[in-house]
Chains A and B, each alone.
Chain A
Amino acid sequence: EVQLVESGGGLVKPGGSLRLSCAASGFTFSNAWMSWVRQAPGKGLEWVGRIKDKSNRGTIDYAAPVKGRFTISRDDSKSMLYLQMNSLKSEDTAVYYCTRERSDHGDYCLDYWGQGTLVTVSS
């Protein structure tokens, strides 16, 4: 059974930093493309970024609002995905979801999601 479990959310002051983690199991993590998606309270879904697998050079893409402030990384030996968030702003307040982007057969879709972790940026 595929499981994605996020942790690390919490309350942080504007300008502060936080690192989210996502523990993956039930699939070959090292072959997977992994993404972060966020959802502000009462709002829609916003793609944050994605990291490809090593066979695709581990390429990382970011959404414009977080580029230069957020860093996605992975540890394939531990089946862990990370999101380092720096220079946090109030508009970064959201539930952050760890997701797997299925990339075989040319189907690019977010087929598994974690339960989400809430990040609140407030003074």
Chain B
Amino acid sequence: DIQMTQSPSSLSASEGDRVTITCRASRSISTYINWFHQKPGKAPKLLIYAASSLQSGVPSRFSGSGSGTEFTLTISSLQPEDFATYFCQQSYNTPRTFGQGTKVEMK
């Protein structure tokens, strides 16, 4: 199985900050990576698919990059509604696997 390792596991940031979350795959997954965020008690929501494509309706402050084994999710200017837990997921093969999550908290 492909292991997805996210870092950091948590971070504290302020409104307006630029935030970067990293995900590393245990082997090359090309650009088959997706990013989600999840608020407490809610289902995850797709933000970025295929490493860098913005899901319809998602604000442009979210962006993704990378290929192979190293990927990043960037929030250019953190908004109050962005405080949540972020997950990466590989869709290169099955079983699909997720990163362990990064909790973005208010500083």
Contact = CB atoms under 8 A, between A and B. Distances in A.
B49 A111 contact: yes
Interface residues of A, number: 24
A109 interface: yes
Interface residues of B, number: 24
Contact of A111 (B32, B46, B94): B46
Interface in A35-71: 35, 37, 44-47, 50, 61-64
A9 B85 CA distance: 24
Contacts of A64: 1, 95
DSSP majority for the B interface?
A: loop
A92 B70 CA distance: 31
A47 B49 contact: no
Nearest to B46: A111
B44 A113 contact: yes
B43 A115 contact: yes
Interface string B92-107: 0011111111000000
B71 interface: no
Nearest to B43: A113
Contacts of A108: 32, 91
A108 B33 CA distance: 9
B53 interface: yes
A114 B53 contact: no
A110 interface: yes
A106 B89 CA distance: 16
A102 B38 CA distance: 19
A97 interface: yes
Interface of A: 35, 37, 44-47, 50, 61-64, 97, 101-102, 106-111, 113-116
